[in-house]
Chain A
């Protein structure tokens, strides 16, 4: 299984950052799919995840600006971050996972087991 991020490497302040992750070697079904980002200032940060049902969980710190979507026919999932600033400059990763728990029962692997190589996004005019 391989994941590959794609999208613009440069985004202007106040505009929308859009990335796509293409999954090869397996179906999107039966897993959730996540986005992370990494910067020197904030370290590794989980942005959120999407299930093939379309259900999503977002990091509350980014929830107002983040939208994730999934296209099972293309085996892709996508990330949009609106109203970007320099603070959104980072390496963005897509990853498979993770699972979730309801009370004491957990479903799926509670870890991000496969990652894309990452794509650098710079926010600058």
Chain B
């Protein structure tokens, strides 16, 4: 199976900060990469698919990039409602998720 490694595992940030989370695949997955946001006690919610396409209704401060093995999720101007855990997931064979990056308030 393709392994997905996120970094950092957690980070502390302030409202208004620019935050970048990295996801690395153990082999080439082209742009078959999805990002989700999960808040405590809730199911994950789709943010970005195909590495960089914003899901309908997701604020434009979220953006994704990358291809092959290295991907990023950037939040430009962190808002209070963005404090959550973020997961990457690939769709190239058996689907696997990264271990998550928790974004909390500094």
Interface size range of chain B in the complex: 20 to 34
Which of A44, A101, A117, A118 is close to B97, meaning CB atoms less than 8 Å apart? A44
**A-B CB contacts (within 8 Å), total count:** 56
In Å, the complex CA distance between A57 and B36 comes to 22
Contact mask A74-101 → B, CB, 8 Å, 1/0?
0000000000000000000101001101
Interface: B14 (CB within 8 A): no
**Chain B stretch 41-55: residues in CB contact (< 8 A) with chain A:** 42-46, 49-50, 55
Interface size range of chain A in the complex: 20 to 34
Which of B34, B43, B45, B91 is close to A118, meaning CB atoms less than 8 Å apart? B43
Interface: B74 (CB within 8 A): no
Q: Is the CB of B99 within 8 A of A93?
A: no
- Which residues of chain A are near B49, meaning CB under 8 Å? 109-111, 113
Interface: B96 (CB within 8 A): yes
Task: Give the residue among B34, B45, B55, B99 with the most A Cβ atoms within 10 A.
Answer: B34
Chain A at the B interface: SS class: loop
In Å, the complex CA distance between A93 and B45 comes to 12
Q: Is the CB of A113 within 8 A of B55?
A: yes
Q: Is the CB of A116 within 8 A of B43?
A: yes
Q: Is the CB of B43 within 8 A of A110?
A: no
Task: Give the residue among A44, A45, A93, A111 with the most B Cβ atoms within 10 A.
Answer: A111
Which of B34, B36, B91, B99 is close to A43, meaning CB atoms less than 8 Å apart? B99
Contact mask A44-70 → B, CB, 8 Å, 1/0?
111000000000000111000000000
Task: Give the residue among A99, A101, A112 with the most B Cβ atoms within 10 A.
Answer: A112
Q: Is the CB of B43 within 8 A of A99?
A: no
CB distance from B102 to the nearest CB of A (A): 12
| Known contacts A93-B43, A99-B91; A110/B97 CB under 8 A | no
Residues of B bordering A, CB below 8 Å: 1, 32, 34, 36, 42-46, 49-50, 55, 87, 89, 91, 94-97, 99-100
